[in-house]
Copies of this chain bind each other. A is one copy, B any other.
Amino acid sequence: MENIKNIAMRIRYDGTNYHGWQSQSNGVTVQSTIEKALSELTGSDVKVTGCSRTDAGVHALDYIFNFKSETKIPVEKLPYALNYRLEDDITALEAWVAADDFNSRFSVNGKRYIYNIWNSALKNPFLNRYSWHFPYKLDFKKIKAAAVFFEGKHDFAGFMAAGGQQKTTVRTISVCGAEQSGEFPELLTITVEADAFLYNMVRIIVGTLADVGTGRIEVSDIPEIICSKDRRQGGITAPPQGLFLKKVYL
Contacts and interface: CB of A to CB of B under 8 A. Distances in A.
A121 B122 CA distance: 36
Interface in A10-66: 12-14, 59, 61
A74 interface: no
| Interface size grouping (class) on chain A | 20 to 34
Contacts of A13: 125
Contacts of A126: 12, 14, 59, 61, 130
Nearest to A184: B61
Contacts of A93: 122
A14 B122 contact: no
A123 B128 CA distance: 21
A188 to B, nearest CB: 16
A89 interface: yes
Most B CB within 10 A of own CB, among A83, A91, A125, A128? A125
Contacts of A233: none
A226 interface: no
9 contacts: A12-B125, A13-B125, A79-B122, A88-B128, A89-B125, A91-B122, A91-B123, A92-B122, A126-B130
Interface of A: 12-14, 59, 61, 79-80, 83, 88-93, 121-126, 128, 130
Given A12-B124, A80-B121, 15 more contacts: A12-B125, A12-B126, A14-B125, A14-B126, A59-B126, A61-B126, A83-B122, A83-B123, A88-B128, A90-B125, A91-B122, A91-B125, A92-B122, A93-B122, A126-B130
